[in-house]
Amino acid sequence: MASESPQPYRVLARKYRPQSFAELIGQDAMVQTLGNAIKRDRLAHAFLLTGVRGVGKTSTARLIAKALNCIGPDGQGGPTIEPCGICDPCVAIAEGRHIDVVEMDAASHTGVDDVREIIEAVRYAAVSARYKVYIIDEVHMLSKNAFNALLKTLEEPPAHVKFLFATTEVNKVPVTVLSRCQRFDLRRISADQLAAHFEAVAGAEGIEVEPAALALIARAAEGSARDGLSILDQAFAHGAGGVTADQVRAMLGLSDRGAVRRLLGLLLAGEARAALAAVKDQYELGVEPSALIRGLLESVHGITRAKVGGVEDPAQSVEEREAYADWASALSYATIHRLWQLLLKGLSEVHGAPLPLEAAEMALLRVIHASELPDPGALAERLANGENIAVAPQSKPPVEGEQAPLLRAPADFAALVELVAANGKPHLAQQLHDYCGLVRYQPPDLAIRPSKPLAGEFARDLAALLKQATGTVWTVGVVDSPAEPSLLEQEQMEKERLRQSVLETPIVRAALDAFPDAELAGFTLEDQRSA
């Protein structure tokens, strides 16, 4: 007797595809809405399921088809949010062989002829099911003519027909189609829910996985159950009887967290040579430069959460939490935010650079250079106290007997305008005076909001003049934010206030009462005081 051939291996993403709404994780609101609609017999004729890849759009469409056509174990049941899974329609739909449940991939059937086949077929009743169901995956791939051909049937389909559309790019679906469908936005699945799901899958497969490894896989999945199960499948193959966090990091090319923390410490200490050596070591171990900077970003985020008292991340070790707590107590919010922005800019540069490693090194050197710069807030406070702040160039150390340029910041915005005029730029000063409202004045940081368009080089020219006049680099921002009235408007408002005060004086009021047609032609402050 010949032995039975072994069953072919099924990947986890297919093996553990949800077979009931109870197994569909992270979509409780949608399940509740569908359940109420089925109970109250208020089912729409067309559903549109949208969301990122791997959150369960196609699985949900098949579950809806089962829910609509389930007849129960005794063959007498009706539509239900809890299909039995054992009746003939449920089994046939689950196996993809039900004659009345038609699945079409719009990516490979984009033309009007493909839609015309559906339009012709909907006129005929279902062969054996309660409803004839059409599941069209990636519906946004249909051509414009195909959408137009489907509109009339979609708006008034026969009572025995239901349409289920799935798409990852709902913005590409015509509004005329959206308005004819009941839309469900499937949410990204949270990392905690994914980790719990992967733990259950690992238990069912009889493979031990460290909780930290599950957390790493859930984070790498980015809200997609299918992506996470694919990574978990790969981790099972990578490990030998079990899966550890170190194995997952190596498999995904993630930087070792301890190495990232050491690198961050070198950056904060200004150790440029040691930091570059650490980057080279990680690169030789196979860590991509972008992954290294992402690791630094995660560390800065972890420090921020530690500073505000956020919920502990299960993927973090005890040593990592202690290091974050120490940095959180030592670093100010301004420093942390500056680190985040510099690293974020560096990551975008690495992604687009022809030489990623060199781009990463330059980005990290910029972080070290920025850590040596004085804090603008502290500078402003010292200036307000009347101190002279010496700013030495970073490119060379100060030499004895050599005086660094002094930051001679104007006391306020009005003084700054006077400084611009005194340095041979009266037209620039007039524009600042007449058309610019002050948003922020924290030398050497200036932000203004113009009331009329300014020349494209206005901010550049102003920053260059201020650098020459004060001896330091200024940041001039032209922003669209709430601002004070311009200096000209303030002067006009003050003049009007004085005018109203003159009109309210007894002698002027008496004169206007005696001569109603009279007007106040002008006045001086001396006139007001004498009055």
**Residue 143 and residue 216 share a domain:** no
Q: Are 449 and 437 in contact (CB under 8 A)?
A: yes
What b/e string do you get for 221-232 counting C-beta neighbours within 10 Å, with b at 16 or more? bebbbbbbbbbb
Distance of CA 155 to the CA centre of its chain: 36
Asked whether residue 400 is assigned to any structural domain, the reply reads no
Q: What is the dihedral of CA 363, 364, 366, 372, to 10 degrees?
A: 170
Asked whether residue 401 is assigned to any structural domain, the reply reads no
Q: Are 331 and 308 in contact (CB under 8 A)?
A: no
**Residue 199 and residue 176 share a domain:** no
Percent of the chain with pLDDT over 90: 13
pLDDT of residue 48: 92
pLDDT in tens, 438-456: 988 888 888 898 888 877 7
Asked if pLDDT for residue 308 goes beyond 70, the answer is: yes
The residue with greater pLDDT, 168 or 529, is 168
**Residue 265 and residue 247 share a domain:** no
> If you average pLDDT over each of 100-109, 309-318, 507-516, which comes out highest?
100-109
Tell me the pTM: 0.57
Q: Which long-range contacts (CB under 8 A, 24 or more apart) does 216-220 make?
A: 216/245, 216/248, 216/249, 216/252, 216/254, 216/315, 217/248, 218/191, 218/192, 218/194, 219/191, 219/315, 220/252
Asked whether residue 132 is assigned to any structural domain, the reply reads yes
Q: Which of 140, 157, 185 is the last residue of a domain?
A: 185
Range of the domain at 316: 257-372
pLDDT of residue 361: 92
Domain count, the chain: 4
The residue with greater pLDDT, 316 or 40, is 40
Asked if pLDDT for residue 102 goes beyond 80, the answer is: yes
Confidence of residue 49 (pLDDT cuts 50, 70, 90): very high
Confidence of residue 56 (pLDDT cuts 50, 70, 90): confident
**Residue 145 and residue 237 share a domain:** no
**Residue 281 and residue 234 share a domain:** no
Q: Which of 185, 208, 226 is the last residue of a domain?
A: 185
Q: Are 236 and 243 in contact (CB under 8 A)?
A: yes
pLDDT of residue 401: 36
Asked whether residue 333 is assigned to any structural domain, the reply reads yes
**Residue 300 and residue 222 share a domain:** no
Q: CA-CA distance, 432 to 406, in Å (whole number)?
A: 24
Asked whether residue 26 is assigned to any structural domain, the reply reads yes
pLDDT in tens, 186-242: 888 888 889 899 999 988 888 888 888 888 888 888 888 888 899 888 888 876 678
**Residue 284 and residue 172 share a domain:** no
Q: CA-CA distance, 132 to 69, in Å (whole number)?
A: 9
**Residue 202 and residue 306 share a domain:** no
The residue with greater pLDDT, 5 or 178, is 178
pLDDT of residue 311: 64
**How far from 157 is each of 66, 160, 376, 388, CA to CA, in Å?**
20, 8, 66, 80
Q: Among the listed ranges 63-72, 251-260, 345-354, which one has the minimum average pLDDT value? A: 251-260
Q: Are 338 and 375 in contact (CB under 8 A)?
A: no
**Residue 38 and residue 173 share a domain:** yes
Asked whether residue 399 is assigned to any structural domain, the reply reads no
Can you give the CATH number for the domain in which 291 is found? 1.20.272.10
Can you give the CATH number for the domain in which 61 is found? 3.40.50.300
Can you give the CATH number for the domain in which 244 is found? 1.10.8.60
Q: Are 429 and 383 in contact (CB under 8 A)?
A: no
Asked if pLDDT for residue 145 goes beyond 60, the answer is: yes
Give me the mean pLDDT over the 155-160 stretch. 88
pLDDT of residue 126: 87
pLDDT of residue 473: 79
Asked whether residue 90 is assigned to any structural domain, the reply reads yes
Asked if pLDDT for residue 309 goes beyond 50, the answer is: yes
pLDDT of residue 383: 58
Give me the mean pLDDT over the 467-489 stretch. 84
Give me the mean pLDDT over the 317-330 stretch. 80
Asked whether residue 444 is assigned to any structural domain, the reply reads no
Give me the mean pLDDT over the 289-317 stretch. 82
Percent of the chain with pLDDT over 70: 87
DSSP-derived letter for residue 141 is: G
**Residue 357 and residue 292 share a domain:** yes
Q: CA-CA distance, 262 to 353, in Å (whole number)?
A: 25
Q: CA-CA distance, 40 to 26, in Å (whole number)?
A: 24
> Quick one: tokens of 402?
């050599």
pLDDT of residue 402: 36
**Residue 59 and residue 127 share a domain:** yes
Asked if pLDDT for residue 497 goes beyond 90, the answer is: no
What value does the mean pLDDT of the chain take?
82
Q: Which of 215, 237, 252 is the last residue of a domain?
A: 252
**Residue 518 and residue 503 share a domain:** yes
pLDDT in tens, 362-407: 999 998 887 555 555 555 555 555 555 544 444 333 433 333 343 4
> Quick one: tokens of 165?
């559309």
